[in-house]
Amino acid sequence: MVFKPKHTDFELSPYTGLDRQSWIEAAEYLLGGIFGNIKDMEDPVVMPRYETEVTYPSKDAPMWRKKAEVFEGLCRSFFISAPLIHIEPDLVLNGINVRDYYKKQVLYAVTPGADNYVLNYSDMRALDKSNNPTACYQQTVETAALVICLWLCHEEIWDTYTKEEKDRIAAFLTDFAHSNTVPQNWRLFNMLDMAFLYMNGYPIDEDIMRDHAQNILHYYVGDGWYRDGQSFDYYSCWAFNMYTAIWNNWYGYEKEPYIARKFEENSNKLMETYPDFFDKDGFTNMWGRSGIYRNAATSSFDGNLLMKNPTIDPGLARRICSGSLLQFLQRDDFLWNGVPTLGFYGPFIPLVQGYSCAESPMWLAKALLCLHLPKDHPFWTAKENNGTWEKLGERETKVTTLDGPALCFANHGANGITELRTGKMVKNKSDIHGIWNYGKLVFNSKFPWESAPHGETFCVGADGELAPDAGNMQIESQQYVLCYLGEENKADGSSEAPSITPNATFWHGEKENVLYRRQFWEYETQTETHWRTAIDLADFVVPYGIIRADKIRMFRRPISITLGSFGFPDNGTEITVREKDGYKAVILKGHDHTGKDKQIAFTIMDGWSDIKLIKSCDTNPDSKNSIVLFAETRRNKQYGYEPYFLISQTITKEELTDFTEDELFPVKEILYTDPQKCGGYGPVTIVLKNGDKKVIDFYGIEAKLLL
């Protein structure tokens, strides 16, 4: 089943057809699926569960962890229901009055002795035997959702509580608001709790509030983005730029005008470039942790509109929000038993973190908070427009590079796809999930990242025929994988050398339209980087994708190295091989899970030996079966002057018309400084057939490599 709006308006919304009534229907569609799993008014929002190995609670989890699932289900589903309750106070789903249900369940959650009591902070601290002085708990996260929702439907629920009931809720919130929290975006949860209490006449510690607020402000790195822990990701958008807007209205504008003004300036700065983070269809890129929150990434548009002086174009904002909503709701694998899956599209466990439970994906409902905007708000009345995409030429690509958060996104007019290149990433070398989420060389809005493919590897003949390949090295999509040859794997006694993936990406930035970064294998602070293999990355855009011209920096050989292209959904795939001027291209044509046409072409130029492919299962977020094309090569001499540059191209589109010869082989010549044409020193100039020249020069980037 997929969402099909009954009401559309293609005059107001020429790109999506969605208007405010369509959004109300979408909210009812999502909430109806959830209530289909709730039997009566006493049932908590605990949904059916198909995954038990990664997500919480485990069977031996402490009581507070099990209670966290109950609270998470209540508050995250409340995100969907709260604006609906205000719009339709008498809404009934599965025979249950939605308003009455949440009014009752909120009281249960905060009342000791009630079956659905979720424990306050002090209760959990008393039960926690870890003796951790900075202990904090999942319930803190959900309190912020609770207060937002009580605000959204205050007339229907909060205002109808007795004074004793309000005091009971306030006592529960006060305990969390003034207790430990995680020192990153979690500070905002405590800030909202305190702001809600203040707004409703309850005492708070204003010094604690001020301390949290100044910390949040100083996570800012520029261009509207905040550093969340080590990483940059959508938390800047669904936390920092959403919650600060609410905080401003409840507390900041009145009590902390300087900080509130900075939060508003930062939100407006984000709006200058954030619309270009999405593709021509409004699709959200699969990037960063918590991908199960999907289109919640659009909530920062609503956050901006909550500011006193917002700058976002409301017609563009609604077009992106609606496009991203349809990206997920129009797929038949999006729901499982009526509930959003633990995945990006269908179930996809490689994306999921241990802090998630079956109810966690309901966080995507932040995207639905726009329903609090009145029906005469410009967000609902402005005509949809498509911003940058209406101005791009057919073969033009717009590139936006932001040094603060280390983000470079390219809007390709030729295929309507947005590609994202990132930096300032460091993960533990064993954290393969984190590396998938942050360490891909490119993230593509229509070809989401694939986890490590496993299956048969094939050589690709000149006619596209496949022949089994004896290689058994690990492959990764849009990542380099390295293998030190001749090593024995001491752990299992085999003679097969282990394969490793880069776990750190340093950012240099863009010069002369080329983006420079560096990746390290096995990066760790206790070992000097000169004792770690690295690769200098240089890439630049072409109409349908990106050309790579990377330089390997090996301290030890012999090695083998591979580079995977994007994962390709294999629902019946045509394979074609083309060769010209010593370059080789392999082209895949097929369609994704929804039947949409897909095409990818992977071309290798200097430095590579061959292109092969691997067929995999259950590693692609779009389709059960997939294919990853990959290039391979070896370097043998410990200190040999062998080719350093690895030059390749990946281009994609969502149609089956052939790429032209010049699109497959866009390079006219490659000019090296050194007479050996290895690229060991001096600039390398790539001359394109369209007359453009790209000079790749890594000399001096050592002076500015940023984490």
Q: What is the dihedral of CA 652, 654, 659, 663, to 10 degrees?
A: -40
Tokens of 114: 């009630």
Quick one: angle between helices 63-87 and 98-110, nearest 10?
A: 150
Are 680 and 674 spatial neighbours (Cβ–Cβ below 8 Å)?
Answer: yes
Closest CA relative to residue 316, chosen from 385, 266, 419 = 385
pLDDT at 496: 56
Residue 386, in any domain of the structure: yes
pLDDT at 230: 85
pLDDT at 491 over 90: no
Mean confidence (pLDDT) of the chain: 96
pLDDT at 225: 98
599 and 698 in a single domain? The answer is yes
Which residues span the domain enclosing 163? Answer: 20-390
- For 136-148, the pLDDT digits (tens) are 999 999 999 999 9
pLDDT at 493 over 80: no
Residue 91, in any domain of the structure: yes
Residue 607, in any domain of the structure: yes
Residue whose pair of structure tokens reads 């973190």 in the numeric block = 353
Structure confidence at residue 572 as a pLDDT band (50, 70, 90): very high
Q: What are the start-end ranges of the H helices in 1-138?
A: 20-35, 63-87, 98-110, 121-127
Closest CA relative to residue 38, chosen from 102, 89, 128, 86 = 102
pLDDT at 497: 63
305 and 342 in a single domain? The answer is yes
pLDDT at 62 over 90: no
Residue 409, in any domain of the structure: yes
pLDDT at 130: 86
pLDDT at 687: 98
188 and 262 in a single domain? The answer is yes
Look up the CATH number of the domain holding residue 339: 1.50.10
- For 313-365, the pLDDT digits (tens) are 999 999 999 999 999 999 999 999 999 999 999 999 999 999 999 999 999 99
pLDDT at 555: 83
Structure confidence at residue 472 as a pLDDT band (50, 70, 90): confident
Q: 29-49 burial by CB neighbour count: b if 16+ within 10 A, else e? A: bbbebbbebbeeeeebbbbeb
Whole-model pTM: value is 0.97
317 and 436 in a single domain? The answer is no
pLDDT at 490 over 60: no
402 and 525 in a single domain? The answer is yes
- For 228-252, the pLDDT digits (tens) are 988 899 999 999 999 999 999 999 9
The region, left, alpha or beta by phi > 0 then psi within -120 to 50, assigned to residue 399 is beta
pLDDT at 88 over 60: yes
284 and 228 in a single domain? The answer is yes
51 and 106 in a single domain? The answer is yes
370 and 423 in a single domain? The answer is no
pLDDT at 492 over 70: no
What's the rounded mean pLDDT across residues 260-286? 98
Q: Could you say which of 390, 422, 454 is where a domain stops?
A: 390
680 and 575 in a single domain? The answer is yes
- For 10-38, the pLDDT digits (tens) are 999 999 999 999 999 999 999 999 999 99
Residue 422, in any domain of the structure: yes
pLDDT at 494 over 70: no
Tokens of 128: 């926690």
Residue 551, in any domain of the structure: yes
What's the rounded mean pLDDT across residues 424-442? 96
Residue 1, in any domain of the structure: no
Look up the CATH number of the domain holding residue 623: 2.70.98
Structure confidence at residue 470 as a pLDDT band (50, 70, 90): confident
What's the rounded mean pLDDT across residues 644-649? 98
> Alpha-carbon distance 237 to 364, whole Å?
12
Q: Could you say which of 390, 422, 452 is where a domain stops?
A: 390
Instruction: State how many domains the chain has.
Output: 2
Higher pLDDT, 491 or 645: 645
367 and 417 in a single domain? The answer is no
Beta carbons within 10 angstroms of residue 585's beta carbon? 24
How buried is 396 (Cβ within 10 angstroms: 0-12 exposed, 13-18 middle, 19+ buried)?
middle
- DSSP state, residue 477: B
Tokens of 486: 């001749």
Structure confidence at residue 461 as a pLDDT band (50, 70, 90): very high
Closest CA relative to residue 365, chosen from 333, 330, 339 = 339
Residue 13, in any domain of the structure: no
Q: Could you say which of 375, 390, 405 is where a domain stops?
A: 390
Closest CA relative to residue 427, chosen from 419, 417, 437, 442 = 437
pLDDT at 498: 80
pLDDT at 489: 52
500 and 366 in a single domain? The answer is no
Q: Tell me which H or E stretch contains 663.
A: helix 661-664
- For 293-325, the pLDDT digits (tens) are 999 999 999 999 999 999 999 999 999 999 999
152 and 264 in a single domain? The answer is yes
Tokens of 19: 């208007």
